[in-house]
Structure 1
Amino acid sequence: MVVDAAVPAIAIGPAPDPLLEDAVRRGGARVAPLESADALVWTTGPIGFPDPLPGNIRWVQLNSAGVEEWFAAKVIRPDSTVLWTSAAGAFAATVAEHALTLLLAGVRALPEHLEAKTWRQQEFFSKIGTLRGTTVAIVGAGGIGKALIPMLAGVGADVIAVNRSGSPVPGAIETLPTTRLGEVWARADHFVLGAPATDATHHLVGAAEFAQMKPTAWVINVARGSLVHTNALVKALRDNTIGGAGLDVTDPEPLPDGHPLWDLPNVIITPHDSNPPSVRPPAFAEHVALNVTRFVAGENLTALIDPVVGY
């Protein structure tokens, strides 16, 4: 078989994957061993990763949206000359759907309805809210936030988006840079957290932020547990400082049995399953195909990781 050296070569590791091999070919590249490849698609975590990489590798595609473990393991270093991309955005639709589910369940008092053993119509009337006409702040409006905005628009909610640069996010009525984050806590009715886990975002939401929120506000976290100060959240929920919280991620995680959050009536906890294994492979394959197409064409890659910033 004659190999066209002009066609970029992509290695897949640590094991062969037919779905990803097909994605590479659909993107216009060919599958090759690591030692002769131009790029590497890696399907597991940092353990076992070929560090240092061969000098021929110009790009590495990782299979997760969160990449903090790669920085913690010092595999991605600030002086890296290799392009690194995450899977940010690949799983955005399913996580956004989960975020909307948590928010609607909270606003509509669904947990109490599910526990009811008798007809409590008059009691529930005062507890049921609506998203129509409300403003939802998406803090860290990346792929998940962009997927969530049209879903929220479908139920009549407006969105204030917050991102690092303040660059306008399609569908949001306003986009603020992170330097103006402090403005949103008193303005918005509800909050969805989608920011990455970095030193700068550790305990992004704590007692001071909860104190500024409306007493009916729901805080939804589908990003990383470390974004929220857990003890401050417990107090805010107990004191009814906020309406409630929907958590797909916690700190600590897994959340231990007996933790106070398990017993609070105004919190909904799902065990970090917003992106279940059943939906990941095809979604990641499409993400790989898109980035391979861009790599072959010499275009900017999507979900590019900044080795200096940390995500």
Structure 2
Amino acid sequence: MSREPAKAPAPEQSESRRGHRAVVTPSAPSAQSRPTPGPIAVGPDEAPHIVDAVTEGGGTLGPMDDDTRGLVWLSHRSVDELDRVLTEHPGIEWVQLPMAGVDMFAPVMKRYADQPRPLWTSAKGAYSEPVAEHALALTLALLRVFPERTRATSWATEPKGISLYGLDVVIVGAGGIALEIMRLLEPFDARITIVRRSADPVDGADRTVPASSLSEVLPTADVVIVAAAMTSDTSKMFGAAEFEAMKSTAVLVNIARGGLVDTDALVAALDAGAIWGAGLDVTDPEPLPDGHPLWMSDRALITPHQADTPEMVAPLLAERIRHNVRALGGEGDFIGVVDPAAGY
């Protein structure tokens, strides 16, 4: 998600409150790409809880210089600066990025796609619980017509609302967020279809289909939740044809990236009543400009890219860093490994 968690204070939690956990499967780099242990730098600016995470993971903090082997990068806005740092310090063999989605870093990563190093890791999976929770909240709010109800200025007499129990839910993506959404949906006895790059089965889903079969599963979907990575292949994967294929009672929820949805086509679909509603924590453009038609639609529910707040993210990113710092030292495998060619 597009946050700068390093600037958030580490929240205090009582021992009785578990807080969020990551939803990930460990992934190990090949022996050829495994980075060499050495000093770790934090940039472009340091944050106390991130510095603590590095030292708690057994890492050695150091300045950005020729001895640096690991780099924890804490800003999604300083992409050009990251590019410069890697060019000036070619000895850096591991880069930890702060977000789950790393599409903004794609141009930099692609330049290293044919090289074994640096190894790139992200926060993918770390923020799954809060984002999945937000996706469920948007889904329930749409089905119970909260966008219309919260705008009302008089008592409504027409009954409206759809129950989530037993519905057909299509989740686009198969990462940690999708897995956690499935877990949250268990009490509702929903029938879940996962759409992913391949048709390899996902545990817990009733069926799994490849992305090429998206159009085949949309006509029966009651809820469509977009939780996919943003790449050149997935840009505007939801457009006029997809909305036309959906039921008029179906809802769309996007907690991934705004660019996965064609905004103009979505506005047209909502205006025409082609779908029941849309819940968006991400938009294209973002921020959504004042006066945009989506703000005016009583079928749209928009939150300002805050499915995971800085307070939620800070301890999760710190734990990811502690884990991967230990991996740099030779203890266990890295998690959140990113394919620089694919961009996720």
1:41 aligns with 2:72: yes
- How far, CA to CA, are the matches of 1:296 and 1:16 in structure 2? 21
Residues 1:169 and 1:23: Cα distance change in structure 2 (over 3 Å): farther
- Give CA-to-partner distance per residue, 1:135-179, whole Å, 9 cap, x none: 211102212111211111133323211222333333222222323
Paired amino acid for 2:142: G
- What SS does the aligned partner of 1:271 have? coil
How far apart are residue 18 of structure 1 and its match?
2.4
1:56 aligns with 2:91: yes
Paired amino acid for 1:64: M
Aligned equivalent of 2:265: 232
- What SS does the aligned partner of 1:138 have? strand
Identity, % of aligned positions: 43
- Give CA-to-partner distance per residue, 1:84-118, whole Å, 9 cap, x none: 11111222211111111111000011222223344
Paired amino acid for 2:74: T
Q: Is the 8 A contact 2:151 2:298 kept in 1?
A: no
Residues 1:234 and 1:171: Cα distance change in structure 2 (over 3 Å): same
- How far, CA to CA, are the matches of 1:285 and 1:123 in structure 2? 49
How far apart are residue 53 of structure 1 and its match?
5.3
- 167, 187, 197: which one pairs with 1:164? 197
Task: Show structure 2 runs of 5+ residues with no match.
Answer: 1-35
- How far, CA to CA, are the matches of 2:46 and 2:302 in structure 1? 36
Residues 1:76 and 1:151: Cα distance change in structure 2 (over 3 Å): farther
Aligned equivalent of 2:4: none
Q: Is the 8 A contact 1:59 1:84 kept in 2?
A: yes
- What SS does the aligned partner of 1:196 have? coil
Aligned equivalent of 1:15: 45
Aligned equivalent of 1:149: 182
- What SS does the aligned partner of 1:161 have? strand
- What SS does the aligned partner of 1:166 have? coil
1:303 aligns with 2:325: no
- How far, CA to CA, are the matches of 1:68 and 1:145 in structure 2? 18
1:29 aligns with 2:59: yes
Equivalent positions of 1:1-311 (< 5 A) are 8-35=38-65, 36-45=67-76, 46-49=79-82, 50-52=85-87, 54-72=89-107, 76-80=111-115, 81-120=117-156, 122-124=157-159, 127-297=160-330, 299-311=332-344
Q: Is the 8 A contact 1:245 1:267 kept in 2?
A: yes
- How far, CA to CA, are the matches of 1:235 and 1:291 in structure 2? 45
How far apart are residue 76 of structure 1 and its match?
5.0
- How far, CA to CA, are the matches of 1:256 and 1:13 in structure 2? 31
- Give CA-to-partner distance per residue, 1:11-49, whole Å, 9 cap, x none: 222233321222223333332333323211111131422
Paired amino acid for 1:207: A
Q: Which has the higher contact order (CA 8 A, sep 6+)?
A: 2
- How far, CA to CA, are the matches of 2:180 and 2:278 in structure 1? 21
Residues 1:137 and 1:20: Cα distance change in structure 2 (over 3 Å): same
Task: Show structure 1 runs of 5+ residues with no match.
Answer: 1-5
TM-score normalised by the chain length of structure 2: 0.81
- What SS does the aligned partner of 2:229 have? coil
Aligned equivalent of 1:3: none
Paired amino acid for 1:252: P
- What SS does the aligned partner of 1:34 have? coil
Paired amino acid for 2:121: T
After superposing the two structures, state which structure 1 stretch, 155-164 or 97-106, moved more: 155-164
- How far, CA to CA, are the matches of 2:213 and 2:56 in structure 1? 42
- Give CA-to-partner distance per residue, 1:194-234, whole Å, 9 cap, x none: 11221111110111111111111100011111111111111
TM-score normalised by the chain length of structure 1: 0.89
Q: Is the 8 A contact 1:71 1:77 kept in 2?
A: no
After superposing the two structures, state which structure 1 stretch, 18-27 or 186-195, moved more: 18-27
- What SS does the aligned partner of 1:52 have? helix
Alpha-carbon RMSD = 2.2
